[in-house]
């Protein structure tokens, strides 16, 4: 059965459709951004590391809605890029620099312990021609000066200036003119080191981008910040080679993901009808295992410095007005492509291969409407399997489904769907001596196996990433409709720089010759357009559009986003902390519909008595629709669900403000809130008849009777809380003969039951 994926496919859309956008503009791994304008079109580049084709080039008319143009690097030569005698995970193409000069696009990057490269094209769609330069230029910032000279600012720890020249006017090919100074480990002249006391380099800069504006040269670069994170600074001078140089913080903000500073990006101008310029920055924020996501920040020039965001660079915007693009007209909000029915005769640009592909071992033409993946390597380790076809995991949550025809697998073949960076977890089908089984493999450890018919033809695999979690679950189907969950919930295994990826794979453990045909890949998310919220569904507090802000570069005063528990084994969920009297959080689009909402509900924690949350619409002093009393929960980290009635009927989309009153500091934490219709639910009863059975030495199955009114269940397995589970639930990967304790609780919008009696497994 072929699924109609066009009706259900979606992804993150930053454009709110009302003249505003919500960061990140792409909720996926698009790091090391550079941005330029050519005429009325904006172009952005990004880094790909070990993924090929590499370094995506994207275009936009409004800086918010983007589409793929091409990749500047088709492949790199060398065994390690082919997963032969080595690998280049987290290496490969680093920190791209995108420029346009004399009718040509230039894309420069560096490969560590190799050299800098530049790829050149006459148009963004390519074709691109790749040239290797004579030396390394770490994190290069390519710059064409108005006197005809060509420079690169580069380096980590200390910044160097190298001079290049165009050696072929027809192709635009560049060559490095400068040499290394005596005793230097870097090409060119050392020009600047941003002080960083205690760091092993003593100074630290990377990710340079160079501009000449109003007679000044500006080097935008990224140093280490006090919090162990990074920020963005501008280094200004009128003489690029000799200085003097002065530096200023231009972005020092964690936005709504505390602890990860926004850094490493470029700025671009937006011409206005009156001849003036708006300026904007595209610059990323590290969101751990999801990857590094680009944000769009307004740029305000003040005293000759390009401050990003607001409050002189201390406040990154979350939701903000779109850039004013004269005579643009309507731009339809859209997501980047994700799902694919493989009907085209070329591979969609959302796809990249894990390392160089073996192009003789895949085809879109041998069976039209499918992508055929022939085995291309003999291995027992997916990390080293060639021709794994990947695309980004998308936030804030997503699921991917692939349909495979597995009727032509050879003996020893394994094929399926993974989530990987370097290490991996997958659900797949294994063919051994004519016997087929569905398996979960967690980084080379097989956790669970289910036999299926040896003549099975089609199988569907699903991988899910729950909201805001860095975990994954898997299921399979033999009809494309009814899915069976398999295995437990697995931790994402993150590398260093590349966010997690879905991967469709097929590899041989014995000999080559088998193949599978992928009919479709479908990616879905539970929400796909900015911070648009409705009733009868929780709204994550961390998804605010704006907040009360007090200027403070140490970020100790403002409300901040944090994990509700420092221990990831407790719960993966975000909250707003540091709340105090007079603080407020703003949510621009809460859709109350026809006015059915009757109550307001919030999950809060506090060690104070007497605090309240006022719920107001339109503005901070707007209509008061509810007041929630915050109980003293006994501990600032002990959360409870609290409810208050709505004082009036509210309809349609509203701008909502939560205004906090009470203690002068650390009065409470807010995990989530919601507006509900009908009767407020009762806390469900404790789940009964918890049964825990060891299936084999390493697998435990748990099930229990449903609790009336429960919307979710949590398991405490030993000291680890596994949230949002269903009965039956499987825990895998246990040590043989190990002992464990298990208990379960039920929850809904009213709160959680007590934990059930503990069951011991010996």
Q: What is the pLDDT of residue 489?
A: 87
pLDDT reading at 4 higher than 60: no
pLDDT at 468: 65
Residue 729 has pLDDT above 90, yes or no: no
The mean predicted confidence, pLDDT, of the chain is: 93
Reply yes or no: is the peptide bond before residue 402 cis, omega within 30 of 0: no
Phi, psi of 474 (to 5 degrees): -135, 150
Task: Say what the pLDDT of residue 699 is.
Answer: 85
* pLDDT tens string 592-636: 999 999 999 999 999 999 999 999 999 999 999 999 999 999 999
Mean pLDDT of 392-403: 94
Cis geometry, peptide bond prior to residue 136 (ω within 30 degrees of 0): no
Residue 36 to residue 266: CA distance in whole angstroms: 8
- pLDDT tens per residue across span 123-153: 999 999 999 999 999 999 999 999 999 999 9
Is residue 28 reached through a cis peptide bond, with omega within 30 degrees of 0 on the bond before it?
no
Res 9: pLDDT: 44
The C-alpha atoms of residue 267 and residue 283 are separated, in whole angstroms, by 8
596 Cβ contact list (under 8 Å, min separation 6): 535, 677, 678
Q: What is the pLDDT of residue 202?
A: 57
In this structure, the number of other CB atoms found within 10 A of the CB of residue 491 comes to 16
Residues β-bridged to residue 107: 98, 119
Is residue 198 pLDDT above 90, yes or no? no
- What gap in Å lies between CA 394 and CA 12, rounded to an integer? 7
Q: Is the link from the previous residue into 64 a cis peptide, with omega within 30 of 0?
A: no
Cis, peptide link before residue 396, omega less than 30° from 0 = yes
SS3 at position 259:
coil
Q: What is the pLDDT of residues 503-552, one digit of tens each?
A: 999 999 999 999 999 999 999 998 888 889 999 999 999 999 999 999 98
- Residue of 227, 111, 205, 129 whose CA lies nearest to 160: 205
Average pLDDT over residues 194-218: 84
Give percent of the chain with pLDDT exceeding 90.
Answer: 82
Tokens of 755: 């934990």
Helix, strand, or coil (residue 406)? coil
């Amino acid at each position: 059965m072929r699924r109609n994926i066009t009706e259900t496919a979606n992804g993150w859309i930053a454009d709110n459709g009302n003249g505003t956008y919500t960061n990140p503009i792409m909720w996926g791994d698009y790091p090391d951004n550079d941005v330029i304008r050519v005429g009325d079109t904006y172009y952005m580049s990004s880094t790909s590391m070990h993924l090929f084709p590499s370094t995506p080039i994207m275009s936009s008319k409004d800086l918010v809605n983007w589409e793929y143009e091409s990749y500047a690097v088709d492949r790199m030569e060398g065994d390690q890029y082919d997963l032969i005698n080595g690998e280049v995970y987290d290496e490969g193409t680093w920190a791209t620099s995108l420029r346009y000069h004399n009718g040509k696009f230039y894309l420069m990057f560096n490969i560590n312990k190799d050299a800098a490269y530049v790829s050149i094209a006459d148009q963004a769609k390519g074709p691109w021609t790749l040239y290797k330069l004579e030396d390394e230029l770490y994190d290069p910032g390519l710059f064409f000066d108005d006197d005809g000279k060509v420079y690169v600012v580069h380096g980590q720890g200390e910044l160097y200036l190298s001079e290049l020249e165009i050696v072929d006017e027809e192709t635009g090919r560049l060559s490095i003119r400068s040499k290394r100074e005596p005793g230097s480990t870097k090409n060119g002249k050392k020009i600047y080191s941003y002080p960083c006391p205690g760091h092993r380099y003593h100074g630290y800069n990377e990710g340079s981008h160079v501009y000449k504006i109003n007679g000044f040269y500006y080097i935008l670069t990224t140093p280490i910040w006090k919090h162990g994170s990074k920020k963005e600074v501008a280094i200004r001078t009128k003489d690029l080679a000799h200085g003097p140089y002065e530096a200023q913080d231009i972005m020092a903000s964690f936005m709504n993901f505390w602890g990860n500073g926004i850094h490493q990006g470029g700025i671009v101008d937006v011409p206005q009808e009156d001849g003036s310029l708006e300026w904007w920055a595209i610059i990323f924020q590290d969101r751990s295992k999801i990857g590094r996501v680009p944000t769009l920040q307004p740029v305000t020039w003040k005293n000759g410095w390009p401050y990003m965001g607001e409050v002189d660079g201390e406040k990154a915007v979350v939701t903000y007005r779109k850039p004013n693009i004269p005579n643009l007209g309507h731009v339809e909000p859209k997501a980047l492509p994700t799902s694919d029915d493989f009907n085209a005769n070329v591979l969609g640009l959302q796809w990249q291969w894990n390392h160089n592909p073996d192009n003789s071992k895949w085809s879109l033409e041998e069976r039209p409407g499918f992508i055929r993946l022939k085995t291309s390597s003999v291995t027992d380790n997916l990390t080293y399997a060639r021709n794994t076809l990947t695309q980004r995991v998308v936030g804030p949550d997503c699921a991917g489904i692939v349909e495979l025809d597995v009727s032509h697998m050879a003996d020893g073949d394994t094929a399926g769907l993974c989530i990987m960076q370097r290490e991996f977890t997958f659900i797949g089908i294994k063919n051994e001596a004519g016997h087929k089984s569905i398996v979960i493999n967690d980084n080379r450890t097989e956790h669970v196996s289910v036999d299926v018919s040896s003549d099975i033809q089609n199988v569907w695999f699903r991988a899910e990433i729950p909201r805001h979690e860095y975990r994954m679950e898997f299921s399979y189907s033999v009809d494309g409709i009814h899915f069976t969950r398999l295995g437990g919930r697995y931790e994402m295994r993150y590398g260093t720089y590349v966010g997690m990826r879905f991967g469709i794979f097929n590899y041989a453990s014995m000999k080559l010759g088998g193949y599978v045909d992928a009919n479709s890949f479908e990616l879905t998310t539970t929400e796909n357009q900015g911070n648009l919220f409705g009733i009868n569904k929780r709204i994550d507090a961390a998804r605010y559009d704006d907040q009360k802000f007090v200027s403070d570069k140490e970020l100790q005063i403002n409300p901040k986003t944090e994990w509700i528990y420092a221990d990831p084994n407790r719960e993966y969920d975000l909250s707003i902390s540091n709340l105090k009297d007079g603080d407020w959080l703003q949510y621009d689009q809460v859709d109350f519909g026809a006015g059915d909402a009757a109550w307001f509900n919030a999950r809060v924690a506090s060690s104070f008595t007497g605090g309240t949350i006022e719920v107001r619409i339109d503005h901070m002093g707007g209509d008061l629709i509810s007041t929630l009393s915050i109980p003293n929960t006994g501990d600032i980290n002990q959360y409870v669900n609290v409810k208050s009635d709505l004082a009036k009927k509210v309809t349609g989309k509203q701008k909502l403000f939560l205004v906090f009153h009470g203690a002068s500091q650390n009065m409470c934490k807010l995990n989530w809130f919601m507006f509900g219709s009908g009767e407020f639910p009762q806390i469900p009863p404790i789940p009964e008849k918890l049964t825990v059975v060891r299936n084999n030495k390493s697998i435990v199955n748990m099930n229990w009777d449903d609790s009336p009114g429960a919307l979710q269940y949590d398991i405490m397995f030993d000291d680890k809380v596994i949230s949002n589970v269903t009965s039956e639930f499987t825990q895998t990967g246990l040590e043989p003969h190990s002992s464990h304790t298990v208990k379960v609780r039920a929850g809904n919008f009213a709160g959680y039951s007590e934990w059930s009696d503990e069951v011991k497994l010996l």
